[in-house]
Amino acid sequence: MLSKLKVRTIFLCILAVFTLALVVSSGIGWKNAYSGYRSVDRIHDMTTEQVRNVYGAWVALLRARVGLATAYTELQEGETGKLGERVDGARKRLEQATAAIQTYQATVASDAERTQARGLATALGHYTAAIEKVGQALLQQDAQAYLQANAASREANQTFDRLLNENLDSIGVQMQALEDDSAEGYDTARAVTIGLFVLAVIMFLAAWRFIERTVLGPLRQAGQMFEYMGQGDLTHRVDMTSRNEIGQLFVSLRKMQESLTRVIAQVRQGVDEINTGATEIAQGNTDLSSRTEQQAASLEETAASMEELSGTVKQNADNARQADQLAGNSMGVARRGGEVVSEVVTTMDAISASSRKIAEIVNVIDGIAFQTNILALNAAVEAARAGEQGKGFAVVAGEVRTLAQRSAQAAREIKTLIEDSVSKVEAGSNQVERAGSTMKEIVDAVQRVTDIMGEISAATQEQSSGIEQVNRAVAQMDEVTQQNAALVEEAAAAAGSLESQAQQLRQAVSVFRISSQEVIEMPAHDRLR
Say if CB 125 and CB 116 are below 8 A apart: no
CATH topology for 245-528 is: Helix Hairpins (1.10.287)
Compute the distance between CA of residue 415 and CA of residue 102 in angstroms, rounded to an integer. 40
Compute the distance between CA of residue 94 and CA of residue 146 in angstroms, rounded to an integer. 18
Instruction: Tell me the per-residue pLDDT of 405-454, one tens digit each, with 9 for 90 and over.
Output: 787 788 778 778 877 777 776 787 777 677 778 767 776 776 786 777 77
Enumerate the CATH 1.20.120.30 domain ranges in the chain, comma separated.
Answer: 2-210
Nearest to 214, CA basis, from 13, 458, 58, 438:
13
Instruction: Tell me the per-residue pLDDT of 85-95, one tens digit each, with 9 for 90 and over.
Output: 888 888 888 88
Choose the most confident range, by mean pLDDT, from 28-42, 205-219, 515-529: 205-219
Q: Which residues contact 440 (CB under 8 A, 6 or more apart)?
A: 338
* Whole-number pLDDT of residue 447: 76
Exposure b/e, 273-296, CB count within 10 A at least 16 = b: eeeeebeebbeebeebbeebeebb
Exposure b/e, 104-132, CB count within 10 A at least 16 = b: bbeebeeeebeebbebbbebbeebbebbb
pLDDT band at 336 (very low <50, low <70, confident <90, very high): confident
Enumerate the CATH 1.10.287.950 domain ranges in the chain, comma separated.
Answer: 245-528
- Residue 237 sits at φ, ψ, to 5 deg, of -80, 140
- Residue 82 sits at φ, ψ, to 5 deg, of -100, 15
pLDDT band at 523 (very low <50, low <70, confident <90, very high): very low
* Whole-number pLDDT of residue 497: 73
Distances (CA, A) of 497 to 486, 494, 500: 18, 5, 6
Q: What are 522's strand-pairing partners?
A: 507
pLDDT band at 97 (very low <50, low <70, confident <90, very high): confident
Nearest to 107, CA basis, from 176, 35, 56, 37:
56
Q: What mean pLDDT comes out for the span 511-524?
A: 51
**What's the chain's average pLDDT?**
74
Q: What mean pLDDT comes out for the span 316-331?
A: 74
Say if CB 4 and CB 243 are below 8 A apart: yes
Compute the distance between CA of residue 490 and CA of residue 507 in angstroms, rounded to an integer. 26
* Whole-number pLDDT of residue 282: 63
Q: If one looks up domain 2-210 in CATH, what number appears?
A: 1.20.120.30
In the chain, what is the straight-line distance between the N-terminal and C-terminal CA atoms, in Å?
51
**% of the chain beyond a pLDDT of 90:** 0
* Whole-number pLDDT of residue 399: 78
- Which amino acid is located at 217 in the chain? G
Instruction: Tell me the per-residue pLDDT of 185-237, one tens digit each, with 9 for 90 and over.
Output: 777 878 878 888 888 888 888 878 877 877 777 777 778 778 877 777 767 67
pLDDT band at 109 (very low <50, low <70, confident <90, very high): low
pLDDT band at 37 (very low <50, low <70, confident <90, very high): low
Please state the separation of Cα 122 from the chain's center in Å.
45
